[in-house]
C-alpha cells in the first residue's frame, strides 16, 4: 500500500473550513481507501502565529475534533499530534538544516510574503523562516509516496524533495524517497466568500463547518455572487460567482444545473440560490456534525485515538531516525539504548538497555475475539484482539508448526506488545505481537495468560 502524509495547522481559531475540507481533508478520506495515511495536527507549526497559551490549547483541541469528525472511519489512518512524537520532528528538522542552503528558504513564499507585507528582514521570526524545514521533517520521517495538500503548500513539498535529495547525496545513502505533491486541479485553491483571496482562517473569509447554524447561514448569505446584478430579474453570471463555485461541490448536480440556467436568465434570486447552498452544506456535513458532538462529549474516545496514532507514528518515525542517526555518524561504539548497533555476532541488542528504553515497550492485556488459520499459510494464525480501543486489532502468530490451533486462543486473554511498527503478513498488517515464553519441558512456546485482568490494561 502506498503511503501519504499530511498535516493541518491549528492556526486562526483552529477550525476546519470548507477550503481545508475540499483542499485537503476530502482527499485524505478518499485516499485512505487505498493508502496508508499518516495525518497529523501540526501544533509546532502554529507557534509562528499563536503565542497565547490558552488560545493554542483551544485551537489544538478544536482542530483535533474537527478533523476526526470529518474523517469518520479511521481505517488505514494514523492520526496524531506532531508534538507527541517525542521531539523526532524537530530533531530531524535540526539535522536537515545542515544540508540546506539559506537561499532555498529565502525563496519560500511565506517568508517572502512576510517581507513584502509589513516586516523588516531582521524582524522575521526564525520559526517562520525555517517553517519549510519543519515541514520537510514532518514528511520525510514517514517516507510517504504522496503528500496531499492545497496549492499554497506545493512549494513546501518541492523544498522537501530538494532537501531529501541533498541529504541522500551528502551521506551517499538513499534514506529518503522523494514524495510527490498530490493536488487535484479543481480544489487546488478554494477562494473565500469575498471571491478574491484564498479561503483562509487568518483572512476571515471562510465558511465554517462546525459553527452554530446561524453563523454558517450568515457566512453563506455574505458570499460574493455577481456584483453586476442589481435585481433578481437581471440576467446573472455564474462564472466567478462563489455561491455556484461552492454549489458545484456540495449541491446535487441536476439541481445546480437547473439553478445556473435560471440564474443566467434572471429567474431566480441570489437569496434562493444561497438558501440552497446553506441547505446543501448542512446536508453534506450532518454526519460530521453529529460525530463532532459525540467526540466532544467523550474525550476518552479522542484520547484513545490519539494514543493509538502516536504509538504507530512513533514506531515509524523512530525507525527512520535510527537510519538517519546511523547514516550521519551520530551512532558509534558508545551509543546506548535500543539504538546500539547489533553485535558482530548479529541479532542481539547488546547486554544492557536502559529502564527508559524498556519502559517504552508497551505490553497490553488483550482479549482474542476471533481466531482463524490464515488462508494460504501453513504457519499463521490470525487473531482479532480487543484492547478496549476504538477497534480491535489484527495480530498474527506463526505457531501452527508447534501444534497450536485457533481454538486454543479464542475467547482467552493474553499479553501483547502493542507499540510495534505494523508488519505486513501476506495481505494484511499485523499490529502487535502476542507474548510467549520458552518452556523447558515442552517443545513449544507457552503463552502468558492474562485471564482476570482488565482488557486494555498495560504492564508498567
* Candidate list 29, 173, 198, 301, residue with the active-site label: 198
Q: Which stretch binds ligand TYM (CB under 6 A): 15-23, 270-278, 281-289, 392-400?
A: 15-23
Instruction: Looking at residues 194 to 233 of the shown chain, list those that interact with ligand TYM (rule: CB under 6 A).
Output: 198-200
In our burial notation (b when 16+ CB lie closer than 10 A, e otherwise), range 166-175 reads bbbeeeeeeb
Cβ 42 to ligand TYM shortest distance, Å:
4
Residue 117 is among the residues annotated as catalytic for this protein: no
Among 85, 139, 425, 434, binds ligand TYM (CB under 6 A): 139
CB 92 within 8 A of CB 321: yes
Cβ 37 to ligand TYM shortest distance, Å:
12
Q: Measure the N-to-C terminal CA separation of the chain; round to a whole number of Å.
A: 34
- DSSP H or E run through 39: strand 35-41
Among 3, 7, 88, 278, binds ligand TYM (CB under 6 A): 7
46: nearest Cα among 111, 144, 128: 128
Residues 6+ away with beta carbon under 8 Å from 117: none
Q: Which stretch binds ligand TYM (CB under 6 A): 20-28, 113-121, 168-176, 364-372?
A: 20-28
d(C-alpha 364, C-alpha 387), whole Å: 7
The DSSP secondary structure of 185-196, one letter per residue, reads: GGGSS-B-TTSS
CB-nearer residue toward ligand TYM: 20 or 78: 20
- What region does 172 belong to: left with phi over 0, alpha with psi -120 to 50, or beta? left
Residue 274 is among the residues annotated as catalytic for this protein: no
Residue 201 is among the residues annotated as catalytic for this protein: yes
CB-nearer residue toward ligand TYM: 93 or 430: 93
> How many C-beta neighbours within 10 Å does residue 208 have?
18
Q: Which stretch binds ligand TYM (CB under 6 A): 3-11, 163-171, 306-314, 373-381?
A: 3-11
Backbone angles phi, psi at 174, to 5 degrees: -85, 70
Kind of pairing between the strands at 77-81 and 393-397: unpaired
CB-nearer residue toward ligand TYM: 201 or 382: 201
β-partners of residue 415 are 365
Among 3, 13, 15, 24, binds ligand TYM (CB under 6 A): 24
Residue 173 DSSP label: S
Asked if 144 touches ligand TYM (CB under 6 A), the answer is no
* Candidate list 114, 143, 260, 274, residue with the active-site label: 114
Cβ 137 to ligand TYM shortest distance, Å:
9
Cβ 285 to ligand TYM shortest distance, Å:
17
User: How many residues form the binding site for ligand TYM (CB under 6 A)?
Assistant: 25
> How many C-beta neighbours within 10 Å does residue 398 have?
15
Q: Which stretch binds ligand TYM (CB under 6 A): 135-143, 248-256, 282-290, 435-443?
A: 135-143
Instruction: Looking at residues 166 to 195 of the shown chain, list those that interact with ligand TYM (rule: CB under 6 A).
Output: 187, 189-190
* Chain residue at closest Cβ approach to ligand TYM: 23
β-partners of residue 38 are 5, 78
Asked if 130 touches ligand TYM (CB under 6 A), the answer is no
Q: Which three cell numbers stand for residue 93?
A: 528538522
CB 67 within 8 A of CB 43: no
The DSSP secondary structure of 43-68, one letter per residue, reads: HHHHTTT---HHHHHHHHHHHHHHHH
CB-nearer residue toward ligand TYM: 6 or 219: 6
Q: Which stretch binds ligand TYM (CB under 6 A): 4-12, 342-350, 406-414, 449-457?
A: 4-12
d(C-alpha 97, C-alpha 136), whole Å: 10
CB-nearer residue toward ligand TYM: 93 or 318: 93
Instruction: Looking at residues 146 to 165 of the shown chain, list those that interact with ligand TYM (rule: CB under 6 A).
Output: 147, 149-150, 152-153
Among 39, 68, 95, 135, binds ligand TYM (CB under 6 A): 135
Cβ 99 to ligand TYM shortest distance, Å:
18
Q: Which residue has the cell 518515525?
A: 317
CB 396 within 8 A of CB 383: yes
Q: Which three cell numbers stand for residue 278?
A: 446553506
Mark 43-82 with x for binding to ligand TYM (rule: CB under 6 A) and - for no binding: --x-------------------------------------
* Helix segments in 206-269, DSSP class H: 213-221, 242-250, 253-265
Q: Which parts of this chain interact with ligand TYM (CB under 6 A)? A: 5-9, 19-20, 23-24, 42, 45, 135, 138-139, 147, 149-150, 152-153, 187, 189-190, 198-200
> What are the catalytic residues?
114, 198, 201
Amino acid at each position: 500500500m502506498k503511503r501519504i502524509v499530511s498535516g493541518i495547522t491549528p492556526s486562526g481559531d483552529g477550525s476546519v473550513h470548507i477550503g481545508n475540507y475540499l483542499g485537503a481533508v476530502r482527499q485524505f478520506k478518499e485516499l485512505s481507501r487505498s493508502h496508508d495515511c499518516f495525518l497529523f495536527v501540526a501544533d509546532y507549526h502554529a507557534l509562528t502565529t499563536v503565542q497565547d497559551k490558552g488560545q493554542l490549547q483551544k485551537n489544538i483541541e478544536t482542530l483535533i475534533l474537527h478533523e476526526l469528525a470529518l474523517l469518520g472511519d479511521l481505517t488505514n489512518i494514523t492520526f496524531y499530534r506532531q508534538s507527541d512524537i517525542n521531539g523526532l520532528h524537530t530533531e530531524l528538522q535540526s539535522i536537515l538544516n545542515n544540508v540546506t542552503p539559506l537561499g532555498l528558504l529565502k525563496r519560500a513564499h511565506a517568508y517572502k510574503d512576510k517581507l513584502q507585507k509589513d516586516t523588516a528582514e531582521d524582524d522575521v521570526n526564525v520559526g517562520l523562516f525555517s517553517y519549510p524545514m519543519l515541514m520537510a521533517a514532518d514528511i520525510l520521517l514517514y517516507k510517504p509516496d504522496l503528500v496531499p495538500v492545497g496549492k499554497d503548500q506545493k512549494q513546501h513539498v518541492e523544498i522537501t524533495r530538494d532537501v531529501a535529495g541533498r541529504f541522500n547525496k551528502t551521506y551517499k545513502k538513499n534514506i529518503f524517497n522523494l514524495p510527490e505533491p498530490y493536488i487535484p486541479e479543481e480544489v487546488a485553491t478554494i477562494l473565500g466568500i469575498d471571491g478574491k483571496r484564498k479561503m483562509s482562517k487568518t483572512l476571515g473569509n471562510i465558511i465554517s463547518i462546525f459553527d452554530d447554524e446561524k453563523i454558517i447561514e450568515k457566512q453563506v448569505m455574505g458570499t460574493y455572487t455577481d456584483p453586476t446584478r442589481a435585481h433578481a430579474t437581471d440576467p446573472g453570471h455564474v462564472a466567478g460567482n462563489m455561491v455556484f463555485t461552492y454549489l458545484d461541490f456540495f449541491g446535487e448536480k441536476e439541481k445546480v444545473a437547473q439553478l445556473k440556467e435560471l440564474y443566467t436568465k434572471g429567474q431566480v434570486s441570489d437569496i434562493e440560490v444561497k438558501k440552497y447552498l446553506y441547505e446543501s452544506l448542512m446536508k453534506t456535513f450532518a454526519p460530521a456534525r453529529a460525530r463532532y458532538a459525540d467526540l466532544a462529549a467523550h474525550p476518552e474516545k479522542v484520547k484513545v485515538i490519539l494514543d493509538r496514532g502516536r504509538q504507530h507514528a512513533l514506531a515509524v518515525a523512530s525507525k527512520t531516525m535510527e537510519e538517519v542517526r546511523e547514516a550521519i555518524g551520530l551512532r558509534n561504539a558508545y551509543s546506548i539504548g535500543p539504538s546500539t548497533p547489533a553485535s558482530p555476532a548479529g541479532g542481539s541488542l547488546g547486554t544492557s538497555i536502559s529502564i527508559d528504553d524498556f519502559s517504552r515497550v508497551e505490553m497490553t492485556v488483550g482479549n482474542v475475539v476471533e481466531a482463524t488459520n490464515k488462508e494460504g499459510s501453513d504457519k499463521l494464525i490470525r487473531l482479532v484482539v480487543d484492547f478496549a480501543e476504538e477497534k480491535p486489532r489484527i495480530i498474527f502468530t506463526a505457531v501452527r508448526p508447534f501444534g497450536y490451533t485457533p481454538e486454543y486462543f479464542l475467547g482467552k486473554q493474553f499479553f501483547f506488545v502493542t507499540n510495534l511498527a505494523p508488519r505486513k503478513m501476506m495481505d494484511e498488517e499485523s499490529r502487535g505481537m502476542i507474548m510467549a515464553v520458552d518452556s523447558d519441558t515442552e517443545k513449544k512456546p507457552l503463552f502468558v495468560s492474562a485471564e482476570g485482568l482488565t482488557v486494555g490494561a498495560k504492564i508498567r
